[in-house]
Amino acid sequence: MILHDGIELPCILECIYVIEDKQAFRSGFEGQFIFQKNDPALNSWLIVEAAQSIPLNVKGFNGAIAADRDLPGNEGMDQVFSFRMKNMEPAPIPGTDDPAAYLPHVQFSTFNSWTQLGNAIKGEFLMRSMMNDVLKDSLETLLVDAETMIEKAHRIADFVDTHQRYINYDPKWFVSRVRSAGRVYETGYGVSMDQCVLTAAMMREAGFEVWPVMLSEGFGSIDEGVATLARFQSPGVWVSGPGVEAYFDPSTGTLHNGLSPIYNRSVWLPGFDDQPTLRWSGDGEGSRIVTSFNLSWDADAEMWTGSGYYEAGGGYCPFDKMEGGGDRSREYLNDVCSGVLSGADVSEFSPMSFDRFTVASDLSLSVPASERDDLDRLPFVIGDPTDGLIDVLPHYVPLYLAERGTPVPLAGSGEQVVKVKLNVAGLEVVRLPEPVTFNNGAGSFELTVAQDGDVVTIVRTISVQRSKYSVEEWTDLRALLLAEVSESNRTILLR
């Protein structure tokens, strides 16, 4: 064993005990091994063995090449696949949701196709997602005054989320060993597949069509020719009915009646799809979000009042968060506008377009004045809309990193436009942002600033051109994002 300071010490690796299943927990075996870990390694081995009678598909990717076996094997194992990589550096940072997209790895499976693996999951799903009398009585009470199908779907999803304790456990142990829906309800807890069969049983009884569904952990295509669940999230349920095409995520208990959850993700309906596919690619028509405000200063009330416009499409479309109209839509528009203008309060709105692809609305709003600084200046800061390009950046895109060792996969190309037109009559303009325009290999950023008498107009536009950026392209992408979030590019000072 070599310590971090280079000192070598003798060590003994002892195997205390081995547990062997008398009966396999499912009809096949599959998985993935990534060679680079958080710590460096002199040698990283993987040996996959199977009897000749077992169909075995093993493939290496991103530089993982099969080698001669140099460790003792097990008796009766006629199929042997050995992989060994030497002098492995720590996995590059920041880590992403799907490191197999770029790190050396091996996938293995005894399922000869996605269809065979899918049928194993589908059979268990259909058999276990059946109603019993107790569940039927509970569902009847739950839906007694529900007027629409989408209301029924949300009630069922909320019921499962509220009454069932979600257990976060690796789904591979349970996708084909599932408890019945009645038993899950009776115990009040469950892993992802347990929650799926309970939700599916209740949804089907309520008149919906349901399917088990797997979404990729990361963005883009994940089918490498080996039938494995390794690059998927926990299973969910796809729910379809009049006005409903929704994804139920058991890990959050959330029903998404929109397309944003599957945007640029591989989707697989086990037992119904031949293989995982990209239903909606992030490299097609890009997502777009526009927020525009026309405000005037009210000196007596110490606030800004006026009108606005909101439009969001593609991966930014909030259809599922606004459906139902009324207070729910207004609260969401409040969140969006408050992201741009802190404390914004939407009093009225008038939808102009409302579907799964685009939401657009006119609105009226008021914005409280910011606190004056020590020089009696009134700051006016223009932020970012909720669920816009900046807000939905993945966790592995920290802007404080000047350099990174991993590529940057995104949900897709996108554009964000923030426009603010201010009538500042009665106030003195102390500072305006400087106009900025630049294009690079990652996209473009433009900040236009104009003043005509008492009217100040600022338009900030950022465009990201692709769904994936290499390590070398991080500098350009970061420059765009830093320009967008720079305080100097979004702050006006008035007096």
Residue 21: what pLDDT?
A: 57
b/e 234-260 (16+ beta carbons within 10 angstroms → b): bbbbbbebeebebbbbbeebbbbbbbb
Closest alpha carbon to 303 in 341, 358, 352:
341
Please report the DSSP string for 241-298 in residue order: ETTEEEEEETTTTEEE-SSGGGTTBEEE-TTT-SS-EESS-TTSSPEEEEEEEEEEEE
Q: What is the pLDDT of residue 6?
A: 56
Q: How many CA atoms lie within 13 A of 161 on its CB side?
A: 14
Peptide bond preceding 398 in cis form (omega within 30 of 0): no
Name the pairing type of β-strands 189-190 and 79-88: unpaired
Angle at 253 between CA 349 and CA 398, to 5 degrees: 75
pLDDT for 69: 59
Are 176 and 27 a contacting pair, CB within 8 Å?
yes
DSSP annotation string for 55-124? --EEEEETT--EE---S---TT--EEEEEEEEEEPPPPSS--S-GGGTS-EEEEES-SSHHHHHHHHHHH
pLDDT at 71: 55
CA 494/CA 427 separation, integer angstroms: 6
Query: How many distinct helices (H) and strands (E) make up the chain?
Result: 8, 27
Between strands 209-215 and 236-241, the pairing is: antiparallel
Q: Give ∠ CA 298-300-301 in degrees, rounded to 5.
A: 70
- Say if residues 407 and 102 touch (Cβ distance below 8 Å): yes
User: What does the CA dihedral 477, 479, 480, 481 come to, rounded to 10 degrees?
Assistant: 90
Measured CA to CA, the distance from residue 173 to residue 169 in angstroms comes to 8
DSSP track, 199-220: HHHHHHHTT-EEEEEEEBSSSB
Question: Is the CB of residue 222 less than 8 Å from the CB of residue 276?
Answer: yes
Specify whether the CB–CB gap between 190 and 166 falls below 8 A. Answer: yes
- Tell me the CB-side half-sphere exposure of residue 315, using CA atoms within 13 A: 29
**Distance, CA of 489 to CA of 434 (rounded, Å):** 7
Angle at 33 between CA 469 and CA 43, to 5 degrees: 100
* Of 349, 416, 425, nearest in space to 383 by CA: 416
Q: Which residue has the tokens 């009766």?
A: 76
Q: Facing residues of 375 across strands?
A: none
Phi-psi group of 355: left, alpha or beta (phi > 0 → left; psi -120 to 50 → alpha; rest → beta): beta
DSSP 369: P
Domains located in the chain, CATH noted: 30-110 (no CATH), 115-278 (3.10.620.30), 287-494 (2.60.120.1130)
Can you say whether residue 426 is alpha, beta or left, with left for phi > 0 and alpha for psi between -120 and 50 degrees?
left
Residue 21, burial from CB neighbour count under 10 angstroms (0-12, 13-18, 19+): exposed
User: 69: which residues sit within 8 A by CB, 6+ positions away?
Assistant: 47, 80, 82
Per run of 10 residues, the mean pLDDT along the chain (length 495 residues) is 60 60 69 93 88 90 78 69 91 96 96 93 92 95 93 95 88 78 93 94 97 95 94 95 94 90 93 90 83 96 97 94 86 97 96 93 96 93 96 96 96 96 96 96 97 97 96 97 96 95
Q: What is the DSSP string of 144-193?
A: TT--SHHHHHHHHHHHHHHHSEE----GGGTTTS---HHHHHHHTEE-HH
| Listed residue (13, 79, 90, 21) closest to 52, CA to CA | 79
State which amino acid sits at residue 375.
Answer: L
> How many CA atoms, within 13 angstroms, populate the side-chain half-sphere of residue 153?
27
Q: What is the pLDDT at residue 347? A: 95
